[in-house]
Structure 1
């Protein structure tokens, strides 16, 4: 079992210590993976979003102000939640675009049919 993450390890990772960064990334990966899986219930999506969250942490860590460990975890979990929300927001927009396109096709095909009763009303 890995040792619990502490604020000193985070500060060392911020200073550029590769071993500390690796330890922080592994701790974050483990906890975030569990959190995201509980939100998505999809293993492959969890892997993708966990990786995105860890990469965001690595990219932002040098400029992140971390006075205590609770603030760090709060930031990590909020970042993970944002990744999940963004994914589902994009997925919903794609579904809406597909539905709108298919609805337009159905409406156009129905309007162009010769046996459509609406055509009789319009032509009179």
Structure 2
């Protein structure tokens, strides 16, 4: 079954995962949560996702590295980065890897939902 509003969320902070999950559900998105880079690496069905929300600094890896893995595997799903580390080097690396948004924690509801809605609007999924 195609989940037209499926969003994959990767963050090693359980409170952040729950908050993003609630927020996405309030806006008619269906999140699948991953608490580690390793858990995300074991996922293989990216075609149904409208977007991936990636924390950059994971305890077992880098969200930017995960993005590069997706690209190398031919997966073109849009990415939104979330991070508590807004250093110029991190921002530059994130933007260079290709993303539709780079959000610094804490971010507003609107900052997260607007790029998602743009992607869904462009694909006609919603």
TM-score by length of 1: 0.30
| Structure ID, larger Rg | 1
TM-score by length of 2: 0.30
Structure having the higher helix fraction is 1
Structure having the higher strand fraction is 2
